[in-house]
Amino acid sequence: MQSDKELLWQYASARSDEAFAELVRRHVNLVYSAAVRQVGGDSHLAHDVAQSVFTDLARKAAALSRRESLTGWLYTSTHFAASKLVRAENRRREREEQFMSDPVNHPSAELDWETLRPILDAAMHGLHETDREAVLLRYFENRPYADVGAKLGLNENAARMRVDRALEKLRTVLARRAITTTSALAAVISANAVQVAPSSLAVTLTKSSLVAAGAGTSFALSKLLTLSQLKVGMGAIVVAGVAAAMVVQHRSQQQLQNENASLRQQFAQLKSDNANLANDVVAKNDAQTAASQQMAELLQLRSQVTQLRTMTNAPAATVAPPATDDVSATKKAHILLKMKLVSVPESVLQTSAAGWASAANGANLLSEQQYQGFDGLMEKDDKVRTIGHPAVLALNGRKARTFVGANVPFNGTNVNLGSTLDVVPFYSPDSSIFTLNVAVQYNQLTGDPSQPILETLQSTNQVNLFPGQTVALKTKITSAGILEYTSDLPNRPGILLMFITPTLADEAGNKLTPADKIEME
């Protein structure tokens, strides 16, 4: 469905009568209902107010075409037009006459509505424009929070908070006017605030507004049209309106026929393209799956070859072993965990990680060549950013902890934003396999930047690696996540990659070789 902005631009730039008619149909219930309340229930005066509002919209289409939504402008314009007409008429209708349909399932709300109805619009105009827009979209037009957020440029949770705050402000304004029976204020407004306008009103308003705006009607004549008691000259205007309507209808039919033929051609082309793309995706997925399986098998075979070469190059058995063990030649072995945290856009990761072998729980295993290749990519692509590269010297079977992030104030206390990694490494000299038990706690800020929410994500994993391999763990970053605390990184969503490379090292952190005689700490 086209937005108000798109429809208004079509009318302002191309004088599309169909676009303007859609705007009238979309908002006529809101304008008419507000007008009925503000002119004391007189449907004839409400018709004149609506006529004035939509005529004004047609004249100001170019200036208003930058607005994403017209709801707030139309509501405010209705208020001013109704006030002006009431002052000119110097009379008010009785406010007790009810034009809304009584809600069947809310008998307790009927009394509240009778109390609320005479002052609702005045109270609404006591709100700030942004708060008034939120209440209108949610409770007058009964839009879902996701739709309200889209209109206001917010996500669904932020829209919900904006509407709740605006509703509380409306309660405060009503309390100043001695209206305190508003416990079900949202339900009362949703059930009663907007009523269905007469079925012919949208068509009548569209035709007469376009005629008035297109003919360059002067302000005095526009005022004359809005006063229901002045009937002089209406016959000529009706004739002009009928003639204009016939021209509009003919032009609309011709344009719709042309658009229909064009859309049929586009649909046929899209259907063909979709079938071709589906076949390409299936073929690509099959190729990637096969490549991943082959890479995993290749890495395992390389490790086995390395072990066989070590055994083959060992000293011959004819050399007599020493009579006693050379304890001084034995080295105490630790496990050096080299880590790197990188921010990567999802599109870049899908391309660069195509050949990585899959491990448990969504982790990936990289050979030394693959890791070096990704390191080279980080040097060339400015979208790939290194966040931290800590290193920890751990004991076999003992937990090692590292944190990459920042300690920032939040809700009166300090919290750690970033990643806390707990790694318990094991190394088996018999099989030359590293086993890593990894627990990740990731804190990020989400939601409305003015009132952020601390979100904590936790995951655990266990992976087995051969010497020279690197494990890659992935965590999704939201638009207000870990990158918020460091200004040199872009604040945008993506993937946080955590690389861990285990190696054997001595107490000083120097790498041990297969020829070294080791003893695990």
Q: How many beta carbons lie within 10 A of that of residue 64, not counting itself?
A: 18
pLDDT band of 301, cuts 50, 70, 90: low
- Pairing assessment for the beta strands 391-394 and 518-520 based on DSSP bridges: unpaired
CA atoms within 13 A on the CB side of 117: 26
pLDDT score of 187 more than 50: yes
Q: Any long-range contacts for 367-375 (C-beta under 8 Å, 24+ apart)?
A: 367/295, 367/299, 367/302, 367/468, 367/469, 368/468, 368/469, 368/470, 370/470, 371/470, 371/499, 371/501
Burial of 478 (0-12, 13-18, 19+ CB in 10 A): middle
Q: Which residues contact 18 (CB under 8 A, 6 or more apart)?
A: 252, 255
pLDDT score of 194 more than 70: yes
Between 49 and 281, name the one with better pLDDT. 49
pLDDT band of 229, cuts 50, 70, 90: very low
Question: Which residue type occupies 459?
Answer: S
pLDDT score of 482 more than 90: no
Question: Helices in 355-433 by DSSP H: which ranges?
Answer: 368-380
Nearest to 103 by CA among 31, 47, 184: 184
Helices 201-214 + 234-312 axis angle, to 10: 100
Burial of 87 (0-12, 13-18, 19+ CB in 10 A): exposed
Alpha-carbon radius of gyration of the chain:
36
Question: Which residue type occupies 86?
Answer: V
Q: What is the pLDDT of residues 423-460, one digit of tens each?
A: 999 887 777 788 889 998 878 877 766 677 888 878 88
pLDDT score of 232 more than 50: no
State residue 430's pLDDT score.
73
CA distance 455 to 175: 37
* H/E element, 474: strand 470-477
Q: Can you name the residues that pair with 458 across neighbouring β-strands?
A: 441
* φ/ψ of residue 156, rounded to 5: -65, -45
Between 103 and 477, name the one with better pLDDT. 477
Residue with tokens 């068509």: 203
Greatest mean pLDDT range, 158-162, 246-250, 440-444: 158-162
State residue 501's pLDDT score.
93
State residue 495's pLDDT score.
84
Q: What is the pLDDT of residues 355-389, one digit of tens each?
A: 888 887 778 888 988 888 887 776 677 778 788 88
State residue 307's pLDDT score.
55
DSSP characters for 26-91?
HHHHHHHHHHHHHTTT-HHHHHHHHHHHHHHHHHTHHHHTT-S--HHHHHHHHHHHHHHHHHHHT-
pLDDT score of 231 more than 80: no
Q: What is the pLDDT of residues 276-293, one digit of tens each?
A: 766 665 566 565 555 556
* φ/ψ of residue 335, rounded to 5: -115, 115
Beta carbons of 50 and 201 less than 8 angstroms apart: yes
Q: How far is CA 416 from the centre of its chain?
A: 25
Work out the mean pLDDT of the chain and round it to a whole number. Answer: 76
pLDDT band of 237, cuts 50, 70, 90: very low
216: left (phi over 0), alpha (psi -120 to 50) or beta: left
pLDDT score of 151 more than 70: yes
CA atoms within 13 A on the CB side of 128: 8
CA distance 44 to 46: 5
- Pairing assessment for the beta strands 357-358 and 364-366 based on DSSP bridges: antiparallel
Question: Which residue type occupies 519?
Answer: E
State residue 298's pLDDT score.
61
pTM higher than the cut 0.75:
no
Q: What is the pLDDT of residues 324-335, one digit of tens each?
A: 455 456 778 889
**What average pLDDT score do residues 390-395 get?**
91
State residue 349's pLDDT score.
76
Beta carbons of 394 and 337 less than 8 angstroms apart: yes
Helices 185-192 + 107-116 axis angle, to 10: 80
Task: Strand 433-446: give its sheet, edge to edge.
Answer: 400-410, 413-428, 433-446, 453-465
Q: How many beta carbons lie within 10 A of that of residue 247, not counting itself?
A: 10
State residue 191's pLDDT score.
83
160 by DSSP, 3-state: which?
A: helix
Q: How many beta carbons lie within 10 A of that of residue 142, not counting itself?
A: 13
